[in-house]
Amino acid sequence: MLELRGVSKSYGPHQVLAGVDLAVAPHEVVAIIGPSGSGKSTLLKCINFLEPYDAGEIVFDGALVGYAERRGRRVRAPDAAIRAVRRHIGMVFQSFNLFPHKTVIENIVEGPIQVLGQSRDTAYAYAETLLGKVNLGDKRDARPASLSGGQQQRAAIARALAMRPRIMLFDEPTSALDPELVGEVLETMRELAAEGMTMLVVTHEMGFAREVANRVVFMDGGRVVESGPPELIFSNPTQTRTRDFLARVL
């Protein structure tokens, strides 16, 4: 479904991604782990073209993301093509980014009505279903500020799901939460994985990566250092850098 080949990116002289190869198959859950500054967030942003990349290819559903070929040269794709890709990619950030002046359900129906052109009835009906799914049925008409961090993050997940994405990208979705609220968000993500959602999850939650991911990718210095099934990466990593990182976080 998603394939990255040799993706590189620099900010000025600083190379942040140095030739990343990564593929995600339908229904696969891939966890990306690695030290701060290793390029994990930048990688996710390149996938939905919130950040341009300098070299390499990102192919989503058979189409090149962000660029087009014109007379043998790579040019930026038309905005409509970029929007078309983004529409199928759900993104959940560390900070929940809900609209503060809207209620929870208004946050969820905004995209489906404004972007997908759904009728209010259709959008609200599906939003109610999603609220049940993320266990927020009773917070339908609440404002984000009155919710706990865990509830806000679950609302943000419902909002992303309302666009019926084909893949969900998570960037450290529990890092901003008080410890006692982490579990409820991970549980929602676990259920999503069990339903077969394709997921790419940057996380510090090694327990989640071990139990839920089909594959764990360890990044360091803008590269994929090692990747494999969780039981292998966590018990028997082949690379020294992976071992050192795991020794620090486990």
Sign of the C-alpha dihedral, residues 69, 70, 76, 82? negative
Asked if 41 is part of the footprint of Mg ion (rule: CB under 5 A), the reply reads: yes
Q: Which is nearer to Mg ion, 16 or 105 (CB)?
A: 16
Name the one range near ligand ADP by CB under 6 A: 30-38, 132-140, 183-191, 224-232. Answer: 30-38
Q: Which is nearer to ligand ADP, 40 or 139 (CB)?
A: 40
As measured in angstroms, the least distance from the Cβ of 61 to ligand ADP is: 24
Residue labelled with tokens 């050192």 = 244
Q: Which is nearer to ligand ADP, 34 or 90 (CB)?
A: 34
Asked if 152 is part of the footprint of Mg ion (rule: CB under 5 A), the reply reads: no
> Any bridge partners for residue 17, and if so which?
9
Asked if 207 is part of the footprint of ligand ADP (rule: CB under 6 A), the reply reads: no
Candidates 38, 103, 174, 203; binder of ligand ADP (CB under 6 A) is 38
Q: Which is nearer to ligand ADP, 172 or 184 (CB)?
A: 172
Percent helix, strand and coil across the chain, each to the nearest 5: 40, 25, 35
Instruction: Name which of 162, 141, 143, 144 is nearest 153 in CA terms.
Output: 144
Amino acid found at 7 = V
Q: Which does 39 bind (CB under 5 to 8 A by kind): Mg ion, ligand ADP, none?
A: ligand ADP
Q: Which is nearer to Mg ion, 41 or 152 (CB)?
A: 41
CA torsion, ordered 72, 78, 81, 85, to nearest 10 deg: 90
Rg (CA), the chain: 18
Instruction: Name which of 197, 155, 166 is nearest 30 in CA terms.
Output: 197
Instruction: Name which of 139, 4, 110 is nearest 64 in CA terms.
Output: 4
Indicate the residue whose CB is closest to Mg ion. 41
**Are 31 and 201 within 8 A, CB to CB?**
yes
Name the one range near ligand ADP by CB under 6 A: 29-37, 86-94, 173-181, 232-240. Answer: 29-37
Candidates 39, 90, 144, 230; binder of ligand ADP (CB under 6 A) is 39
Q: What residues line the site for ligand ADP (CB under 6 A)?
A: 11, 16, 34, 36-42
